[in-house]
Structure 1
């Protein structure tokens, strides 16, 4: 099939281009610059310049014979304490981008896929949930819920299958957050954020390795699936266990703790609640209907792959060197 991907240079998009072209699908990836063009080209795709917030560029980028569209573009804030303006930018890329994409796609489009997030449906009482649960969007997930609704509405009128794959927290060797977590763990500067007065209450979270998320999208495309699926690994895990395991594999100091009420002053409400509000869910529907199985069924399997990859490609040595340099600089400053 011919597949058009927005966000083709992101942690998910890169993997989609790789996997789809490996399976003989024709892939066109939307990019914003020459660096993005090279990323898509090296993975076997065809790059087209454009911006999801610029409808004219989308119309030029999308061919008349596109059968499947994946809206993977985001602008998730990378600052320590994101402002509302940063979240608003992400909202625009998600929702306006989805609307512009569908307005530019040709008649005959068969399927539109959107990577939403499982925590859009986390339950107020912290209980386990699945795809049938009521959603409870917050500031970070409101636009994801809006796109889910928008796709269902457009699908009913335009005749394509709307496929929403709600993913757990992404992690991977090349994921921005994973590298930041590893760097801060090696520095001894990544505390576990917990609930309660002293930060001792741990919430069960759902993660997924980015390789497994991409595999689920390919499975959904090739089975022509419609509907909503939760794409997570087999085992929910507390943030404490995840980061303690990561630290152990990195041979880094064991992370300390900080209560969520205090963390809000440093990282904001959205980020502090992200790791203290439970979101245990299940991948049973995705396994059953898509024929998908995660290559890294638990966070332990996935984190071992991350650290092994970093060890092989030199990233781990680089992070350790940076950590040592920062410690040395700090000690010199204290001595002065």
Structure 2
């Protein structure tokens, strides 16, 4: 199968490109520069330059059998309105141009979204049939889903949960801050609530899910998450335990809002609980890391093997020179 991947140099895209190429597919990955070319080619694919926000990207799709839109610009750290708008532009315009190009050449279309796009205001469990309820941080995902359906007759939309993995910038930030004793676990605040219960997904399982969607026949919208939702505070404390880092202090969200930003605190203090039943059934998929504990064990093992965290007399510390 000829597969075109936008977002081929990202955390998810790199894993997906390698998995598809190893599976015998003819993969083309969209890049922006020579570094991106090397990243894609080292994983067994062909690099092609382009920008998903430019309609000229349609020419790069060529005669693909499947087009994957996994390009994002998710901000790290405290995000501004302009940061989220940049992410929205990449998601939105990429969906418009790539879904149209896929429809034009009769290709399958697989697009990336997030489960938060349908999270109810008051939290609680939801699924693929729940109405979309976007915030500033997820409006781009909602727009991309709509545009994919407008421009392609049968798109596949994969909504990911809280992505984490050894190469993820957010996961690395958390690891470094935990080892330094600077990352708190959101706890009981003036509203008397704990940190949100979330649905998670290791980046390995995300790539496996996208590969299954590329190779499968089903279409529609699916949630890609692990088997067991858990409070974010439990995730952070399990992460600290794996790292042998200090136990995080509990702090209320209102104290952290100036540091993390309103969007991040909102995401981490309002439940976003969903499941993977529909995707499992449609694509015969199950997570390799069914819980966040299993996934975080892999993350830390990988970091130690790569020298990202190194032993000291008192335990472990972050190594900026690690791979």
**TM-score category (smaller protein):** over 0.9
Contact 1:205 1:236 in 2 (8 A): yes
State which drifts further: 309-318 or 175-184. 309-318
Out of 172, 183, 188, which is 2:165 matched to?
A: 172
Counterparts of residues 25-44 of structure 1 (less than 5 Å): 25-44=25-44
| CA-CA distance at 1:61 after TM superposition | 2.2
Compared CA separation, residues 222 and 87, structure 1 to 2 (3 A): same
Instruction: Name the TM-score, length of structure 1 as normaliser.
Output: 0.90
Counterparts of residues 121-132 of structure 1 (less than 5 Å): 121-132=118-129
State which drifts further: 29-38 or 186-195. 186-195
Counterparts of residues 184-195 of structure 1 (less than 5 Å): 184-194=177-187
Quote the residue 1:334 is aligned against.
Answer: none
Instruction: Name the TM-score, length of structure 2 as normaliser.
Output: 0.93
Quote the residue 1:117 is aligned against.
Answer: 114
**What is the alpha-carbon distance in structure 2 between the residues aligned to residue 285 and residue 59 of structure 1?**
31
Contact 1:82 1:268 in 2 (8 A): yes
Counterparts of residues 10-25 of structure 1 (less than 5 Å): 10-25=10-25
Give the match's secondary structure for 1:101: helix
2:273 pairs with 1:280: yes
**What is the alpha-carbon distance in structure 2 between the residues aligned to residue 198 and residue 229 of structure 1?**
33
| CA-CA distance at 1:263 after TM superposition | 1.5
| CA-CA distance at 1:149 after TM superposition | 1.3
| CA-CA distance at 1:127 after TM superposition | 1.6
Quote the residue 1:332 is aligned against.
Answer: none
Counterparts of residues 269-308 of structure 1 (less than 5 Å): 269-308=262-301
| CA-CA distance at 1:204 after TM superposition | 0.7
Quote the residue 1:46 is aligned against.
Answer: 46
Counterparts of residues 45-64 of structure 1 (less than 5 Å): 45-56=45-56, 58-63=57-62
Q: Please tell me the root mean square deviation across aligned C-alpha atoms, in Å.
A: 1.9
Give the match's secondary structure for 2:269: coil
Give the match's secondary structure for 1:115: strand
**What is the alpha-carbon distance in structure 2 between the residues aligned to residue 279 and residue 321 of structure 1?**
32
**What is the alpha-carbon distance in structure 2 between the residues aligned to residue 313 and residue 226 of structure 1?**
38
Structure 1 stretches of 5 or more lacking a match?
325-336
**What is the alpha-carbon distance in structure 1 between the residues aligned to residue 193 and residue 228 of structure 2?**
21
Aligned length: 317
Looking at secondary structure, tell me which structure has more helix per residue: 1
Max Rg structure: 1
Out of 103, 118, 131, which is 1:134 matched to?
A: 131
Quote the residue 1:223 is aligned against.
Answer: 216
Deviation track 1:112-137 (CA, whole Å, cap 9, x = no partner) reads 11111111111223221111112211
Deviation track 1:297-330 (CA, whole Å, cap 9, x = no partner) reads 1101100000111111111118944489xxxxxx
Deviation track 1:207-251 (CA, whole Å, cap 9, x = no partner) reads 100110111111112112200111000000111100101100100
Contact 1:55 1:104 in 2 (8 A): no
**What is the alpha-carbon distance in structure 1 between the residues aligned to residue 101 and residue 215 of structure 2?**
23
Give the match's secondary structure for 1:310: helix
